[in-house]
Structures are given as C-alpha cells and as structure tokens.
C-alpha cells in the first residue's frame, strides 16, 4: 500500500542510510544531465524553437517526487550559476548568474516551482491518474509561465513579454503537458502488470 502514495523513484531507492543518500545524489546528477540535454534539444514549432526542458521538468518531478525533484532542479540551477553551460542559451548568450538574471530568469525560477507542484502531486499518487496529473501539470505550467512573463515584463514591458515570451509557447507547452501526463501513468500501469 505504501507504493500507492510514493513517486516512481521510490521503487528503486534503498530503504535508508548511506545507500539511499548516494542513490538520491546519483539520481539528482542524472536528472541535471537530462535537463541539460533537454535544454539543448530544440523542436521548431512555428516561429520559435521550443526546447524539451519543460517536458524534462515534468517527468523528473513526477518520477522523483517533490523533495528529490526540487533538489534536482536546485542542483541544476547551481550548476548554471557556477557557469556550466547547462541552459538553452549558454554559452552563446552568456553564462552564470548574468545569464540567469537575463530574459529567461523568471522561467528558470519557475522550473523549481513547477517541480514542487508536480512532485507534490506525485507524492499523493496523482501520477497514476492521467487527468489528475494533467491538471497538476497544467497548474505548474501556468505558474511557471506567469513567473517568466512577470520577469520578462520587467525587462521589456508586458506587451512584448506576452508577444514573445508566452504566446509562441502555448501550443508546444500544452502538447508537453499532455505527453508527460500520459507517459507517467502509462509507466505505472506497465509496472502494475509486471
């Protein structure tokens, strides 16, 4: 019954002790590598390149749960702050804190909140139900986009922020929400049959 309210990763974690901590650290590092690869993977959808980063955040948070999901995102942000080229526009558009305070700063901060919302839902078993998970991911997406919009609006104004920072990404991000909300429950269903 404990499995019913734990995220996917709990199935692979040792019960306690150093082995559990080492496994969590390993998973967080692997998560940051996935986030980096997803940031560098671009899909052309209309007039903009869309990265796979939000999809990766959804999947990591749903699989890891809230605590490990947030820890993974914070480690990713720390890597970026130290100047590692982990973000979509790095190193071409700058690195480190300067990049993080640029036009994508609100979206980056929003990823951490996104991981918290989706991880919270996964910790409560919503990751087994496509509709519940979709709703949680949609809320997380809206919050992340609102944070990104607000930060960008401070830099370039609300009209341009909406036109360039939100509108072109709505369709692609809705597709990613739907895909992630379908994949995670499908994995749980396969594990249940096995």
* pLDDT, position 3: 45
* pLDDT, position 149: 97
* pLDDT, position 191: 82
* pLDDT, position 24: 93
> What are the average pLDDT values for consecutive 10-residue runs of the chain, which has 194 residues?
65 85 95 97 76 95 96 98 94 92 95 98 95 98 98 96 92 94 92 78
Are 6 and 63 contacting, i.e. CB atoms less than 8 angstroms apart?
no
Strands of the chain (E only): list them. Answer: 42-45, 48-51
* pLDDT, position 18: 93
* pLDDT, position 1: 35
CA proximity to 64, closest of 24, 109, 124: 24
Domains annotated for the chain, with CATH where assigned, are 2-193 (1.10.1760.20)
Rounded Cα distance between 74 and 95, Å, is 17
Contacts of 114 (CB under 8 A, 6+ apart): 54, 57, 58, 61, 140, 141, 143, 144
Q: How many residues does the chain have?
A: 194
């Amino acid at each position: 019954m404990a499995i019913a309210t734990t995220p996917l990763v709990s199935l692979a974690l040792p019960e306690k002790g150093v082995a559990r901590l080492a496994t969590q650290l390993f998973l967080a590092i692997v998560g940051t590598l996935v986030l980096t690869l997803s940031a560098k993977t671009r899909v052309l959808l209309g007039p903009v390149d869309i990265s796979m980063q939000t999809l990766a955040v959804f999947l990591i948070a749903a699989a890891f749960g809230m605590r490990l999901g947030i820890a993974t995102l914070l480690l990713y942000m720390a890597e970026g702050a130290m100047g590692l080229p982990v973000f979509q526009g790095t190193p071409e558009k700058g690195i480190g804190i300067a990049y993080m305070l640029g036009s994508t700063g609100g979206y980056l901060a929003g990823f951490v909140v996104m991981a918290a919302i989706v991880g919270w839902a996964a910790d409560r078993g919503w990751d087994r139900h496509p509709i519940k998970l979709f709703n949680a991911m949609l809320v997380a997406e809206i919050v992340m986009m609102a944070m990104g919009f607000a930060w960008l609006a401070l830099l370039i104004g609300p009209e341009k922020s909406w036109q360039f920072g939100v509108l072109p990404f709505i369709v692609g991000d809705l597709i990613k929400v739907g895909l992630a909300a379908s994949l995670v429950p499908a994995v749980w269903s396969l594990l249940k049959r096995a």
